[in-house]
Structures are given as structure tokens and as C-alpha cells.
Structure 1
Amino acid sequence: MRVISFNANGIRAAARKGFFDWLATADADLVCIQETKAQAWQLEKDPTFWPEGYHCRYVDAERKGYSGVAIYSRIEPRAVTTEMGLAEFDAEGRYCAFDLGDLTVASLYLPSGSAGDHRQASKDRFLEAFLPMLQRVRDEERSLILCGDWNIAHREIDLKNWRANRNKSGFLPYERAWLDRVFDDLGFVDAHRTLKPDVAEYTWWSNRANAWNNNVGWRIDYQIVTPDLREQLADVQVYREEKFSDHAPLIIDYR
């Protein structure tokens, strides 16, 4: 099973850059997209955004041109969840999950704190509220693949210029410690890092200073899975042969 996670930074912009042409060749079973920046009604008349052979669901932010997530699945979901029960973040269209029987696959877009203290405060509220939700997943012993842009680089290997970013949102000590709790205390597995424990590989690059071409990036896009799926991890790649966004698709194959 092949699962792709991709922050599109605008699904219509990514389409113009060839994302859907590439997706038709990518042999994906599931595609989790973040930051669609569109309302589903704006896409409904264009078949590009409803790839043939997939069951597609968009979850929009109330604010137009902002946030939003989507999932495309070759398997018809038994149930679809579009809210987390957190009003502040449900209004921003940050979560969609497909129940595929014994497995749940979710697309998640964590808030970014880089726009200022007010957005960092929102991100902090999300982190506080989301940890108990992850604990409930573990208590239920349900298999979960949680894809998305988490807007946190976990370790020094996960960003090129880590020394210069130690006091910046996305690499703050308490954000990294929060991810420690996800992995160490709750037992979730960082699929990418499990498959490539020592490889400095990134998924997001600033639009400044020619960062993409110089590969000065951050690894902030994840597929985080329950521990029962660890042995199912087969391969990982970050697709950089084409540029569809300031993020690159994260592709993980499961046995």
C-alpha cells in the first residue's frame, strides 16, 4: 500500500504546476493533502480535483483561501470524520479521517506559529488539546496512519540550519519535547525516520535565498503511525524531481 502526504500550498496552484499529472503516475492508494486553500464548491466542476478511481473528500476552512485538507482513497471509506471536536481548529479545516475497516488514515494540518505570537498561541492550544486525542487512539488500540504537515522539526537532523532556528517557531524546545511525548510516551512511530534513521532529508523549503535548489530545508511533514504498523513499513521517498509547492510529497510504502 502506497500512502502520499503533501502540503499543496494551494491545490489549484499545485495543479497548475503539474501535481495531478504526476499523481496519475504515482500509483498511490491513499493521498493526504494539506493546505488546499480552496472551498470544495470551487473545485466541483473541474474533474482534475476528483482523480478517477479515488474516493475524494475535501474539508474546507470557513475563511476562503486558507488552510483546508483532503483525502483521496482507492478504498471506499466506511466512515469519514471531518471534525476534531475543537471548534477553533475545525473552523480552519485542519482534519479529515477515513475509516478503512481496521485502519484509519487521516490528513492533518497543524497550525503554524511563524506569523506572530497570536498564531503561536493558537498552535500551543492545538498541541495541548491534541495530545489527549492521540492518547485515546492508543487506548482504543486502533491502527492509524496520521499524515500531514505538523509544522515542527523534531531533531537537529531534521533541518539544515538548526543552530540559527533554535528560538523560532517550528523548532522551539517545547515543541520538540511535545513530539518526544508523541513518540516516547504514547508510542507512536515516525515512519520516515524509522526507515531512514540517519538521513538528513527535508520536506519543506523557504521561498527565500534559493533554499529549494540549495536544499536548505526542514522536515516538518510526517506519516506518524501506531506501533503495530512499524513492521509494515517498507520504503520512503521524498519526491523532488518536480516542484509542485514549497513542500514535496512524502511517499511511504507499506507491506
Structure 2
Amino acid sequence: MRVITFNTQGIEQAADKGFFDWMVKQDADVVCLQNLKAREYQLDGDRYHPDGYHAYFFDAFDEGFSGVAIYTRHLPKAIMTGLGFEQCDYQGRFIQADFDKVSVSSLTVPSGLKSEEAQAGKLEYLEHFKNHLKKTLRKRRDFIFAGTLNIAHKPIDLSNWYVNQKVSGFLIEERAWMDEVVGEMGYVDAFREVNKAERQYTWWPDYNRAWTLNEGARLDYQITTANLRKSIKGAKIDRDHRFSEHCPLIIDYAVDL
């Protein structure tokens, strides 16, 4: 099973840059998209519905917020949207597809870069999401949470990390949240499970200069339940194509849907 996650920063502009042509060539089973900046009714054309894929969307109520989607070649048993708290559900930040053996979700955590208020909202969101992750551990199936967490977990995940320790995305409390999720709670950072290389980033803040110099951050993840650890067979970030300021994260699992 191949799972791709990608923050489009606007699905229409990503499509303009050839994202869907690229996607259908990747032989992915599930593609998780975030930050659509569009609503489902605006995406009803063939351009956004490539042959062979079922598409599911969760819109934000406010057009200024996210919106997420899942594209899958396999018909899911069920689709779940939202996590039951306003910041997630109103802003369209979570959708999950349940298959026979595994559930895959597309999600995005809000950024805290704009203001102290935004950062406080981000931390509140992370607390709610952590509670959901705890509840998930009681379920008798495996899960993949794919999307933008807006946290660089460790110094290896951020260029110039030393001078960014007081910047949202690399704050002590944010990294402690990641430590708990992939430590005490037992979840797995699928990318780092098989790829230990340095300078592996998924986002670059100043599009052209930072991209060229590879000065960025690894903000996009696939977090799995522990039972999937040994099934992770390969992981890569596709820097060869520029569809947004983020890059697609591609992970292969020895799992049949």
C-alpha cells in the first residue's frame, strides 16, 4: 500500500501546476490532501476526479480556512469527518477513510506563526488531537494519520534550528507533544522509521531561495499505530516537483487494504 500526503496550499493552483497528472503516475492507493482552499462543489469537474480514484472531501465552513480530502483507489467501508471540537470541524481539518485492515486520515494542525493568539489556538488544538490519539489506542485496528502537523520534531527536522527555538513550529512544548505521541503513547513517525538522513524537509518558507538552498522544515508526517512499524518499507519526499511550498510525502507499507 502506498500512501501520499500533500499540503496543496490551494488545490486549484496545485492542479494548475500539474499535481493530478503527477498523482496518477505514482500508483498510490490513498492520497491525503490538506489546505484545499476550495469547497467540494467547486471541484466537481473531471480535473479533480482522475479515473480510478474515489474522492472524499471535508469542507471548512469559512473559506479562509483549510479543507481536506482523501483520494483512494479502494472503496472505503466508511468515511468519518471531524473530531468533535469546533476548531477542527469548523475549519475542515480532519477526514478519515476506514478500510478492512486500516484507517487512513488526512489532517492539518493550524499554524501558530501569525500571532500569540494563533499559537494559543494551535496548542489547544494539539491537546484535543492528543486526546483523540489516546482514544484511538483502544480500538482494535491500525491507523495512519497523514498530514501537516506544523511541528519540526527534532533539530534534524529544521534548518537553522538553533535560532528558531522560540518560533512556532519548534517550541519546546510543541516538540514535547511530539515526544509524547511517538514515545510514551507508542505511535510511529513512519518517515523516520526508515529514513534517518539529514536535511529531509517538506516545507520551505521563502519559496525560491529556501527551496534552492534547501533551508526548510519537516512539517508533514504519517504517524501510525505501533502494529504498522514493521510494515513500513520505504519513505521519500518528492522535491522534483513544485506544486506548493510543501512537497508530497510518499510512504510504502506492506499492507493490503
Scaled by the length of structure 1, the TM-score of the pair is: 0.97
DSSP 3-state at the match of 1:217: coil
- C-alpha change, 1:55 and 1:198, in structure 2 (3 Å) is same
Contact 1:38–1:65 under 8 Å retained in 2: no
What is the distance in 2 between the residues matched to 1:50 and 1:65? 23
DSSP 3-state at the match of 2:87: helix
Runs of 4+ aligned residues of structure 1 deviating over 2 Å after TM superposition are: 197-200
Residues 1-255 of structure 1 mapped to structure 2, 5 A cutoff: 1-44=1-44, 46-207=45-206, 210-255=209-254
What is the distance in 2 between the residues matched to 1:199 and 1:168? 21
DSSP 3-state at the match of 1:28: coil
DSSP 3-state at the match of 1:185: coil
What is the distance in 1 between the residues matched to 2:107 and 2:65? 14
What is the distance in 2 between the residues matched to 1:204 and 1:239? 11
- C-alpha change, 1:61 and 1:197, in structure 2 (3 Å) is same
Q: 1:165-202: CA deviations, max 9, x gaps?
A: 10000000000000001011110000000111243300
Structure 1 residue 24, shift from structure 2 partner: 1.6
Contact 1:8–1:245 under 8 Å retained in 2: yes
DSSP 3-state at the match of 1:4: strand
- C-alpha change, 1:124 and 1:253, in structure 2 (3 Å) is same
Q: 1:89-119: CA deviations, max 9, x gaps?
A: 2000000000102210000100110111111
AA aligned to 1:178 is: W
Structure 1 residue 240, shift from structure 2 partner: 1.1
- C-alpha change, 1:208 and 1:252, in structure 2 (3 Å) is closer
Contact 2:207–2:245 under 8 Å retained in 1: no
Q: Alpha carbon RMSD of aligned pairs, Å?
A: 1.1
Structure 1 residue 142, shift from structure 2 partner: 2.2
- C-alpha change, 1:161 and 1:7, in structure 2 (3 Å) is same
What is the distance in 1 between the residues matched to 2:249 and 2:197? 17
Contact 1:148–1:222 under 8 Å retained in 2: yes
Structure 1 unaligned spans of 5+ = none
Structure 1 residue 128, shift from structure 2 partner: 1.2
Contact 1:110–1:149 under 8 Å retained in 2: yes
DSSP 3-state at the match of 2:76: coil
Contact 1:113–1:122 under 8 Å retained in 2: yes
Scaled by the length of structure 2, the TM-score of the pair is: 0.96
DSSP 3-state at the match of 2:38: coil
| Identical-residue share of aligned pairs (%) | 45
Contact 1:3–1:252 under 8 Å retained in 2: yes
Structure 2 unaligned spans of 5+ = none
DSSP 3-state at the match of 1:37: coil
Q: 1:47-106: CA deviations, max 9, x gaps?
A: 111121111111111111431100001110111001110122200000000010221000
AA aligned to 2:14 is: A
DSSP 3-state at the match of 2:245: coil
Contact 1:38–1:66 under 8 Å retained in 2: no
Contact 1:148–1:221 under 8 Å retained in 2: yes
Mean Cα deviation higher: 60-69 or 8-17: 60-69
Structure 1 residue 208, shift from structure 2 partner: 5.5
